[in-house]
A and B are shown apart, each in its own frame.
Chain A
């Protein structure tokens, strides 16, 4: 009897996991591609505000499913829903300032470098000098970039308007 119950619970859990696929919404119209490069074959498209299912991630690409079509888009095309690990909405709200205060009132878990640590810290001359000792000049940096096959390119800053 107990075993049966456990089996039931396990089945229910497995189903809920399967149902909780990651979802999102398209931030802009874009083409779905067969692979993770920008000239890969177009296999479909999404419109702005379309609901999508996120199936996979690879570098700066997301594999999504929308209106029955599956394909890859750049990660900035989709805003993911329910991000942040195992959060309940309230926690996300606090961390993002959406709860209205814009401040984290309290956090659980191990504290890292806290606001208090930075407020009470004392200037450290030795570490500052050490930091400055690692300074690299522009020419050496350019040489290192060139060794990696990097060269300077001219692109303007983005000009789209924020929300």
Chain B
């Protein structure tokens, strides 16, 4: 297991190079055939690992083992996102404050209801880390750090931040990267030894956790800023919440360790603000009458 994880990490680190190779192979049709063989029929009979402690673990593992990476279902997506989220929670647990967690879920769920994927079972959480960051995982999982939450001064700002993460889920930004990884592994394994579908998923999921620590395309981040701003405005909030948070982030010294990962995985806030300005044009001015709700923002205990 440890070895597999290490391999997955190594693979993920050089994945951009590997994808180049994969597309070259794909042109020859070799990869395509291999992928079809590994994933196309979606064998549901593959045994699940025997070392599960509880039934719920077994069923979660079962779901993960049978993910159709070529064309993941909604349930597949949720199973993957749950695993990625649980892994991030393994690095930083939830802040132990039920009132805060429920509050963030109310705001997040309301903003998500304004999106095209209102039907997902959305989950939101504040994690106990002084880092300034937020994470999204497939299927409707969103985490925000305590470090970022403490910088917020209104509910509209919270809605903007959650809107950005919700947009990543709606657009399946992370899922698409994980799919590429799984399909690449399927092709590569065909050229060497057959590997089990369960192993494919383990690799893809560990890539998923790693993606949270790695950069998506810059364009995906700009798109999430733009969509997130509109989602918060649709929810009745002042449209500048996310922009205000980005402006605040500009003031954090780049040498500050709390923004190291954020600045490693996202374009710099001033670029994000400039892009948001360009993409919104005069549409931002047409949004009026939104609320900021400074007083309703729950303070941390």
Task: Show the binding face of A for B, using Cβ within 8 Å.
Answer: 27-28, 38, 57, 59-60, 74-77, 79-80, 83-87, 91-92, 94-97, 102-104, 107-125, 127-128, 130-132, 134-138, 140-142, 144-145, 148-163
Q: Which of B18-26, B43-51, B87-95, B191-199 lines the interface with chain A?
A: B87-95
| Cα distance A111–B260 in the bound complex, in angstroms | 7
Which residues of chain A come closer than 8 Å to B150, judged between CB atoms? none
| Complex Cα gap A17–B238 (Å) | 35
User: Which of these binds chain A: B27-35, B66-74, B181-189, B283-291?
Assistant: B283-291
Contacts of A137 in B (CB 8 A): 109
> Which residues from A are CB-within-8-Å of B254?
84-85, 87, 91-92, 94-95
Do residues A158 and B279 form an inter-chain contact, with CB atoms below 8 A? Answer: yes
Q: Residue B177 at the A interface, CB < 8 A?
A: no
Confirm or deny: B106 has a beta carbon within 8 angstroms of a beta carbon on chain A. Answer: yes
How far is B118's CA from A141's CA once the two chains are assembled, in angstroms? 12
Contact call A79/B91, Cβ cutoff below 8 A = no
- Give chain B nearest CB distance to A62 CB in angstroms: 9
Residues of B within 8 A of A76 (CB): 240, 243, 273, 276-277, 280, 284
Which residue of chain B lies nearest to A131 when distances are taken between CB atoms in the complex? B125
- Which chain A residue shows the least CB distance to B209? A118
Chain B: how many interface residues by the 8 Å CB criterion? 102
5 contacts between A and B (CB under 8 A): A87-B254, A123-B90, A127-B93, A153-B234, A153-B236
B interface, CB within 8 angstroms of A: 9, 56-57, 60, 82-83, 85-94, 98, 101-102, 105-107, 109-110, 113-114, 118, 121-125, 129-133, 141, 145, 147, 155, 206, 209-210, 212-215, 219, 222, 226-227, 229-230, 233-238, 240, 243-244, 247, 250-261, 263-264, 267-271, 273-281, 283-288, 291-293, 296
Q: List 4 tightest A-B contacts by C-beta distance, closest first.
A: A85-B253, A60-B240, A150-B236, A112-B131
Q: With A119-B9, A125-B86 known to touch, is A113 a contact of B244 (CB < 8 Å)?
A: no
User: Are A150 and B238 closer than 8 Å at their CB atoms?
Assistant: no
Q: Quick one: which of B88, B257, B275 contacts A110, CB cutoff 8 A? A: B257
Classify the interface of chain B: helix, strand, loop or mixed.
helix
Distance in Å: Cβ of A129 to nearest Cβ of chain B: 8
Please state if A136 and B230 are interface contacts (CB–CB under 8 Å).
Answer: no
CB-based contact B281/A118 at 8 Å: no
Main SS class of interface, A: loop
Docked complex Cα distance between A150 and B114 (Å): 12
User: Is B230 within 8 A of A155, CB to CB?
Assistant: yes
In the complex, what residues of A have CB within 8 A of residue B110's CB?
Answer: 141-142, 144-145, 150
Q: Are A86 and B253 in contact (CB under 8 A)?
A: yes
The one of B114, B260, B285 in contact with A107, judged by C-beta atoms closer than 8 angstroms, is B260
Q: How far is the CA of A110 from the CA of B215 in the complex (A)?
A: 21
Q: CB distance A162 to B113 under 8 Å?
A: no
Which B residues are CB-close (under 8 A) to A86?
A: 253, 255
